[in-house]
Amino acid sequence: MTDIISSKKNAVEIVKTLRQVGFKAFIVGGAVRDMVMGKEPKDYDIATNAAPEEIERLFEHVYPVGAHFGVSVVRLGENLYEVAQFRKDGVYRDGRRPVSVEPAEECEDVKRRDFTINALIWDPVDDRIIDHVGGIEDIHNRIIRSVGDPVKRFGEDHLRMLRAVRFAARFGFSVEPGVMDAIRRNASLIFTVSCERIGDEICKMFTGPNPERALSLLDESGLLGEVLPEVSALKGVMQPPEYHPEGDVFEHTLLMLKMFGGGTTARAFGILFHDIGKPATFEMTDRARFNRHDEVGAEIAVRILKRLRFENAVISRVHDLVRKHMQFMNAPAMKRSTFRRFIGQPEFEDMLELYRLDILASHGKLDTYSLILEKIASERANNKTLDLPERLVSGDDLVALGLESGPLFKTILEEVMDAQLEGRINTRNEALEFLKGHFSRQVRKIPEQKSTAPDQPAPRDV
């Protein structure tokens, strides 16, 4: 809370400094929208008629990040503030930025913004909100409306189509019919925008509030088939009603997103993509079946996230969540060492929550989930932690015992770890004794696996 108060105080100080030397200056954009909605803004942007060179003269720490567009960044304390000169945009030719800009008054500056709710101005000196576009009324009516002609606004920056969906989902607003129609007519233009920018908007949608609303609006607007065609393909893929009374795979995914209470980026996209392999693996035998949809889906998820330029760490985590989401059905029958390995995975918390939501969005029977929780509680009581312990022995110990390095190492070390996880050994000395006995048994099996001459020396018994 202190950081938020400091951020606001510094933004007001920038405005006052500019006003004291004769410039106009206001706080604009999302911060004002949030204030009207009773939310505490996290970021503050300032608009002024002062040119970037004036900003550099007035403030000590200034970074001219977009001088061509009249944009500077001012640092006060630990916070950064975008300070932009009032401007009027020239012609847009690439669906992203104007070819030129020129200084203007605040009324013209407001008219170039995307949506009315983002085009409000706050004068902190007189403590009044200036609304040239009806943004306050649209906030009260809970509607996303463009500033002026939506076709023109989307033609200026095609990413605004995704932003309309994101804001509507985030705030639980409707999209004005003219805006929705303009999106439908221009949805195919979205990939004139860079994949990084698209991926960023998609990430904000599904990690923010109401991700199921975002998915529905993407579908309704025609954007889903453009940016996530693999998710659009889930529609109409029917599932066995005895397991999925909720309907097709798309409806199932919507329900999971609706119950998703927030979490990591990997968890959000693990939910969105967990059944992404079902259309490709659908087979009707005695009933609808989707053999290997987890494995196929994991590879599809990787392709999507790479296409949208997600970070490798997120891609890897989502891959594992999708690939492993069917493993829970085997958990009750797992031997203790296997179960310990299962729950000791770094992504297990996300896996478990995905599994819970998967059940609740289908047949709703939580018996296996409850049993898993009981087993986890038991392990936690016995071991204080669910993390896998450090190995008591290593490959060096095998070499010291006379075994030549090879494929057998992995098998032996895993069996030692099994014994450790099951509580049969607890110390390094116990592990070494176990290793000697285990190694002896393994060596005796080798002659049986090879054609060994009668006079060949027997392997050493350690």
**Residue 384, pLDDT score:** 65
**Residue 458, pLDDT score:** 35
**Residue 447, pLDDT score:** 36
User: Is residue 461 over pLDDT 50?
Assistant: no
Residues 270-328 have pLDDT tens digits of 999 999 999 999 999 999 999 999 999 999 999 999 999 999 999 999 999 999 999 99
Q: What is the 3-state secondary structure (H, E, C) of the chain?
A: CHHHHHHHHHHHHHHHHHHHCCCCEEEECHHHHHHHCCCCCCCCEEEECCCHHHHHHHCCCEEEEEHHHCEEEEEECCEEEEEEECEEECCECCCCCECCEEECCHHHHHHCCCEHHHCCEEECCCCEEECCCCHHHHHHHCEECECCCHHHHHHHCCCHHHHHHHHHHHHCCEECHHHHHHHHHHHHHHHHCCHHHHHHHHHHHHHCCCHHHHHHHHHHHCCHHHHCHHHHCCCCCCCCCCCCCCCCHHHHHHHHHHHCCCCCHHHHHHHHHCCCCHHHHCEECCCEECCCHHHHHHHHHHHHHHHCCCCHHHHHHHHHHHHHCCHHHHHHHCCHHHHHHHHCCCCHHHHHHHHHHHHHCCCCCCHHHHHHHHHHHHHHHHHCCCCCCCCCCCHHHHHHCCCCCCCHHHHHHHHHHHHHHCCCCCCHHHHHHHHHHHHHHHHHHHHHHCCCCCCCCCCCCC
Residues 215-270 have pLDDT tens digits of 999 999 999 999 999 999 999 999 999 999 999 999 999 999 999 988 899 999 99
Residues 138-180 have pLDDT tens digits of 999 999 999 999 999 999 999 999 999 999 999 999 999 999 9
User: Is residue 29 over pLDDT 90?
Assistant: yes
User: Is residue 5 over pLDDT 90?
Assistant: no
**Residue 460, pLDDT score:** 31
User: Is residue 414 over pLDDT 70?
Assistant: yes
Could you tell me the domains of the chain? 1-135 (3.30.460.10), 142-227 (1.10.110.30), 247-383 (1.10.3210), 395-449 (no CATH)
- The pTM of this model reads 0.85
User: Is residue 435 over pLDDT 50?
Assistant: yes
